[in-house]
């Protein structure tokens, strides 16, 4: 079943993921988790009440109790599991996907993620077989409002924020439910855009990774003469930042800046970053007294490495940021607070703070349709064997003045290229070289 992905369950509703299938996924979850209680939350998508109720029906029909926390963000679901000590949780969401999609993100105790390798494929097998466990009695549904506790948790990360003006676009996602409560406790002024949760996404797709979704934010930012712009995705676990000139700050640079804020409190802490990130991240972490650790792409891998190394921060190029003090889970709102802490401490314009980090030249991620992914990566390994070649996630090769990574898609016959060089000319030259090989 194509809806069972590497990191979650996701598909078009009701064509690929329908009400009956949601019931069966609930039964599979109750069978797989082997616990007495599960937390369930849902985002603001039109189909989320139906999908959520069906999921809950499946869970309770197997004798497992459900703590229903209602319409929440994905980070709030993780918080509920970690803060109240529940043994697991399921979030009804399709994250940043368009309105027609829905799905489930799952975690066990302490918000430890469940991925394809650690449970999702097992649940797929249970759904296929229809062999679900049952206690012979129905579980209970307990309603719980966690809003105030969650907002208080987010505010614990505030350290010395000064009066700043921010234009914030939540894209009609779930974060609009929380931000007024957060900013009521901050000395900042907030210009809100599309704060009303609306799962139809009537204004634009709630995916801040796409530049076209930041166009209106940038216009408003300049009109308001604000200090920065902030955009969230639909379920609130990703965030993007724009400086006062309307220039997008790439997420790897945001990771480096947040690492500075964390390392200013305590040196020697570990910071995990994904291997698509600029080499300035590792350089800047080291310069500020931290230990930079490279990871393969994917939240389950980054969270595992963070736990193993007691890392304070993890960052992905996709705009996910993970915090040890947040159960090693991602949170767009906590990232926002950390960013506001940092620029308040620096006392400069955002563009001035970021400028020294804009040192190298990157291609961004480029996708190629490739049937023989392994064969093509072997070609690359042979051609660039004079570099430092390694296989943490696909193939990477590092040279003194440039590097690249080519990794396979989990879900399609595609390879994804990221490349960076010390000069623009070298970046363009090496990009053309590898593109020609991948398109051959």
DSSP of 215-226, one letter per residue? HHHHHHHHHHT-
Among left, alpha and beta (phi > 0; psi -120 to 50; other), residue 20 is alpha
How big is the CA angle at 46 (ends 166 and 38), to the nearest 5 degrees?
A: 90
Cis peptide before 14 (omega within 30 of 0): yes
Residue with tokens 């392994």: 374
Sequence-distant (6+) residues with CB within 8 A of 424 are 361
Query: What is the DSSP code string of 159-192?
Result: -SPPP-EEEEE-TTSGGGGTHHHHHTTSS-EEEE
Closest CA relative to residue 66, chosen from 139, 150, 149: 139
Other beta carbons within 10 angstroms of residue 366's beta carbon come to: 15
CB 297 within 8 A of CB 274: yes
Stated as kind and residue range, the H or E segment containing 141 is strand 141-143
Would you state the structure tokens that stand for residue 355, as one six-digit string?
Answer: 């400028």
Distance CA 231, CA 216 (A): 11
Residue recorded with tokens 């505030």 = 158
Q: Are 65 and 139 in contact (CB under 8 A)?
A: yes
Non-local (6+) Cβ contacts of 389 within 8 A are 381, 395, 396, 397
Closest CA to 416 of 289, 276, 315, 272: 276
61 in active site = no
Using alpha carbons, select from 136, 146, 348, 333 the residue that is nearest to residue 239: 333
Identify whether the C-beta of residue 167 lies closer than 8 Å to the C-beta of residue 191: yes
Which of 47, 48, 73, 95 is catalytic? The answer is 95
Distance set, CA 243 to CA 68, 223, 227, 331 (Å): 39, 14, 7, 20
Q: List the catalytic residues.
A: 95
């Amino acid at each position: 079943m194509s809806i069972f992905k590497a990191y979650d369950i996701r598909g078009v509703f009701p064509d690929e993921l329908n009400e009956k299938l949601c019931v069966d996924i609930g039964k599979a979850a109750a069978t797989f988790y082997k616990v007495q209680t599960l937390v369930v939350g849902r985002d603001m998508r039109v189909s989320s009440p139906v999908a959520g109720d069906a999921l809950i029906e499946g869970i309770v029909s197997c004798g497992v109790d459900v703590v229903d926390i209602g319409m929440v963000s994905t980070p709030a679901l993780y918080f509920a599991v970690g803060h109240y000590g529940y043994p697991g949780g399921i979030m009804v969401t399709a994250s940043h996907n368009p309105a027609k999609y829905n799905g489930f993100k799952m975690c066990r105790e302490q918000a430890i993620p469940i991925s394809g390798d650690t449970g999702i494929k097992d649940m797929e097998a249970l759904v296929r077989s229809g062999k679900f466990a049952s206690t012979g009695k129905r579980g209970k549904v307990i309603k719980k409002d966690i809003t105030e506790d969650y907002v208080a948790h987010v505010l614990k990360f505030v350290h010395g924020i000064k009066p700043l003006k921010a234009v914030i676009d939540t894209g009609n996602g779930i974060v609009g439910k929380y931000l007024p409560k957060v900013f009521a406790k901050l000395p900042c002024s907030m210009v809100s855009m599309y704060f009303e949760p609306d799962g139809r996404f009537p204004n634009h797709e709630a995916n801040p990774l796409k530049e076209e979704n930041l166009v209106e934010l940038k216009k408003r930012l300049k009109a308001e003469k604000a200090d920065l712009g902030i955009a969230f995705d639909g379920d609130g676990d990703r965030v993007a930042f724009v400086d006062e000139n309307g220039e997008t700050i790439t997420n790897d640079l945001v990771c480096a800046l947040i690492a500075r804020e964390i390392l200013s409190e305590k040196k020697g802490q570990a910071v995990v970053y994904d291997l698509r990130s600029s080499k300035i991240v590792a350089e800047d972490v080291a310069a500020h007294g931290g230990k930079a650790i490279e990871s393969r792409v994917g939240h389950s891998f980054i969270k595992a490495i963070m736990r193993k190394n007691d890392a304070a921060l993890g960052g992905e190029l996709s705009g996910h940021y993970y915090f040890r003090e947040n159960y090693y889970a991602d949170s767009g709102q906590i990232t926002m607070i950390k960013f506001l802490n940092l620029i308040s401490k620096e006392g400069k314009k955002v563009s001035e703070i970021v400028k020294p980090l804009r040192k190298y030249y990157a291609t961004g991620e480029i996708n190629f349709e490739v049937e023989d992914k392994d064969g093509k990566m072997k070609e690359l390994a042979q051609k660039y064997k004079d570099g430092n070649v390694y296989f943490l996630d696909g193939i990477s090769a590092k040279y003194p003045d440039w590097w690249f990574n080519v990794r396979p898609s989990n879900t399609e016959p595609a390879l994804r290229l990221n490349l960076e060089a010390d000069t623009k000319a070298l970046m363009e030259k090496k990009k053309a070289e590898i593109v020609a090989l991948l398109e051959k």
